[in-house]
Amino acid sequence: MSNEWRFQFDNERTVWQGNPRLSAAAGGVTIGIALSILALLMAVLVDRRLGIASILGIGIVIWAVRRVQQTEYVITTRSIWAKRGVMRQTVRRVELSKVQNTAYSQSVTGSLFEYGTVTIEIAGGSDLQFQRIDNPEIAREAITSRIGDMSEEIPGSPNQWYSVLQLVRDIRVTIE
């Protein structure tokens, strides 16, 4: 996977990286093959020129496979990245500090073959999903272990906070 579509700070490192399974293209591949077969059948039964429509079916198959191959998900020590698109790419970066919650789900076949979807709830934005990835619990853990660390860390020392408290008390006395 190429990293040209994203950046990392000096102290940032990649902790998880993945793509959807190729089976995510199954719907488009099925439609494309069915359309190609139908076009070829119509070419034989009605008019040979209808065989040209099979090119559309082949195009749908190629598009579905490329769409899955061009999708990448990355989790770093500071952010979450998602890249999608074939002709026009969409890249989304979310700081880990904006993550409110994570969950993963697996269908019956997903449980059998160890794939699923990770949903990431983002503060002030739409949710982000890593769809049909291998071992979704590992990706989810890579996120939750980092947001857990961030939520427990309080900036400043107790002495600094006592100073702030005293300052607020002084301001309150002045106002009253």
Burial class (CB in 10 A: 0-12, 13-18, 19+), 72: buried
Does 146 lie in the same domain as 116? yes
Instruction: Please write the tens of the pLDDT for every residue from 107-146.
Output: 999 999 999 999 999 998 899 999 999 999 999 999 998 8
Q: Which amino acid is at 140?
A: R
Does 47 lie in the same domain as 37? yes
Does 30 lie in the same domain as 8? no
pLDDT score at 157? 83
Burial class (CB in 10 A: 0-12, 13-18, 19+), 122: middle
Instruction: Please write the tens of the pLDDT for every residue from 34-50.
Output: 999 999 999 999 999 88
pLDDT score at 151? 46
DSSP state string for 108-165: HHHHHHTEEEEEEEETTS--EEEEEEESHHHHHHHHHHHHHHHHH---S-HHHHHHHH
Does 134 lie in the same domain as 100? yes
Does 124 lie in the same domain as 64? no
Does 169 lie in the same domain as 137? yes
- Which CATH number is 11's domain given? 2.30.29.30
The pLDDT > 70 percentage for the chain reads 94
pLDDT score at 176? 83
Does 109 lie in the same domain as 154? yes
At a CB cut-off of 8 Å and minimum separation 6, what does 3 contact? Answer: none
pLDDT score at 153? 58
Does 80 lie in the same domain as 9? yes
Does 174 lie in the same domain as 133? yes
Tell me the pTM. 0.73
pLDDT(1) > 70 = no
pLDDT(68) > 70 = yes
CA distance 145 to 80: 13
Q: What is the mean pLDDT of residues 59-86?
A: 94
Instruction: Please write the tens of the pLDDT for every residue from 3-41.
Output: 677 877 878 899 999 999 999 999 999 999 999 999 999
Does 145 lie in the same domain as 83? yes
Instruction: Please write the tens of the pLDDT for every residue from 111-122.
Output: 999 999 999 999
CA distance 5 to 28: 26
* SS3 state of residue 46: coil
- In DSSP terms, 129 is beta-bridged to 119
List the domain range (segments joined by +) for residue 97. 1-20+72-176
Q: Which amino acid is at 131?
A: Q
Does 141 lie in the same domain as 125? yes
Please count the structural domains in the chain.
Answer: 2
